[in-house]
């Protein structure tokens, strides 16, 4: 009879009803919680089993870390196909705008000072309007000291700067090579468009609209011998983040991954030699695999903290469901390493002395 009733319901509602029934059955069996009401369609899971997050670290019962700086990967979709990408297009989900704002408000109340929007490619969603509205909300409504974006830059237009530039503190553009052939090998090629030429155009717009300019580079097998001194000094970013190529199981390594990044991996010695070659670049901020792995607070598209301590991304429950304090215990976040790697710096453009 129940199947007959469900047959007359829209598919989304039918799934929600089934999810609710599974929740009620679980509650009756274990007697641990009251009956569970159906979740909104955007928050239902692919099955009826509750997610079991990774156990918290032993010291997390004593001191819950503050989410001072958060990286919100609100989309996994991207128009590039970088071979080493560690946050791949495994879903097409994006939270409704108002729910994303609610989550950001929760984070601010828990102590967030800096939000970084990333992906995927943040400017794919609504041609940059989605991330633009979040940037403005975080600066105007939440009054956050720092709002930043990491982008490949290919979809950013000057009209976006005109509309939202005043609310953005830092724009970080991913650029792994100043040789366009190498960019194509890596997966940053996009038809006839030149990634490096676009980088210079974005640098100029950042000057004109008073946005601090930053460059992120992933050092890998294809660019590890490159000398970038001259180009970086000419672009003069506030920070040049240099990452060692990192393997994450299920993302760019392993059977269920969408990328095979093994061919991009370099040794610690190779990475150190690259850093030594660029030691005279004043804005260089190096990050080895050891520094990267546990020193970032990463929120996925469902606003779940991602724990990378075991070499893969294991999600907590969503802060929208359980709040920040309960979710962050399962994040694997190493607050000491965050501070050691220079995670907290002058990140508000109001406090920077820059030649716009």
> What domain count does the chain have?
1
**What whole-number distance in Å separates Cα of residue 83 and Cα of residue 258?**
9
Global pTM? 0.82
Is 252 within the bounds of a domain? yes
Is 45 within the bounds of a domain? no
pLDDT of 48:
33
Q: Read off the CATH number of the domain in which 155 is found.
A: 3.20.20.70
Residue 356 CA, chain-centre distance (Å), reads 27
258: confidence class by pLDDT, cuts 50, 70, 90: confident
Angle in degrees, CA 135, 154, 239, rounded to 5: 65
Average pLDDT, the chain: 85
Is 116 within the bounds of a domain? yes
As a whole-number percent, the residues of the chain with pLDDT over 70 amount to 82
As a whole-number percent, the residues of the chain with pLDDT over 90 amount to 65
pLDDT in tens, 68-121: 999 999 999 999 989 888 888 889 999 999 999 999 999 999 999 999 999 999
Is 228 within the bounds of a domain? yes
Q: Is the pLDDT of residue 290 over 90?
A: no
pLDDT of 35:
35
Is 136 within the bounds of a domain? yes
pLDDT in tens, 297-319: 999 999 999 998 777 789 999 99
175: confidence class by pLDDT, cuts 50, 70, 90: very high
pLDDT of 334:
86
Alpha-carbon dihedral angle through residues 281, 282, 284, 286, given to the nearest 10 degrees? 110
- Containing domain of residue 331, as a range? 69-347
Is 30 within the bounds of a domain? no
Q: Which residues are catalytic?
A: 78, 82, 85
Is 230 within the bounds of a domain? yes
pLDDT in tens, 109-162: 999 999 999 999 999 999 999 999 999 999 999 999 999 999 999 999 999 999
pLDDT of 356:
57
Is 57 within the bounds of a domain? no
């Amino acid at each position: 009879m129940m199947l007959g009733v469900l047959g007359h319901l829209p598919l989304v509602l039918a799934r929600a009803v089934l999810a609710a029934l599974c929740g009620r059955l679980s509650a009756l069996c274990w007697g641990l919680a009251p009956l569970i009401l159906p979740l909104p369609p955007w928050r239902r899971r692919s099955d009826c089993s509750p997610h079991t997050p990774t156990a918290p670290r032993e010291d997390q019962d004593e001191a819950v870390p503050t989410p001072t700086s958060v990286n919100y990967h609100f989309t996994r979709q991207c128009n590039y196909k970088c071979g080493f990408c560690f946050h791949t297009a495994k879903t097409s989900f994006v939270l409704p705008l108002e729910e994303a704002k609610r989550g950001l408000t929760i984070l601010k109340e828990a102590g967030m000072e800096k939000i970084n929007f990333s992906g995927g490619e943040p400017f794919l969603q609504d041609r940059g309007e989605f991330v633009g509205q979040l940037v403005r909300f975080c600066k105007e409504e939440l009054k956050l000291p720092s709002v930043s974006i990491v982008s490949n830059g290919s979809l950013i237009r000057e009209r976006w700067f005109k509309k939202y530039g005043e609310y953005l503190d830092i724009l970080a553009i991913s650029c792994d090579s100043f040789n366009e052939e190498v960019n194509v090998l890596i997966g940053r090629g996009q038809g006839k468009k030149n990634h490096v030429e676009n980088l210079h155009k974005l640098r100029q717009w950042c000057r004109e609209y008073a946005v601090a300019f930053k460059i992120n580079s992933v050092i890998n097998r294809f660019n590890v011998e490159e000398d970038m001194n001259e180009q970086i000094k000419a672009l003069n970013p506030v920070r040049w983040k240099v990452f060692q190529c990192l393997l994450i199981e299920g993302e760019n390594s392993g059977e269920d991954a969408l990328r095979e990044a093994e061919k991009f991996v370099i040794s610690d010695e190779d990475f150190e030699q690259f850093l030594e070659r660029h030691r005279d670049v004043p804005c260089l901020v190096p990050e080895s695999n050891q520094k990267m792995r546990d020193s970032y607070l990463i929120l996925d598209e469902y606003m779940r903290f991602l724990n990378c301590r075991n070499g893969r991304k294991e999600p907590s429950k969503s802060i929208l469901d359980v709040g920040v304090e309960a979710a962050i215990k399962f994040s694997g976040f190493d607050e000491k390493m965050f501070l050691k790697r220079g995670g907290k710096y002058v990140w508000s453009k109001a406090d920077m002395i820059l030649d716009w």
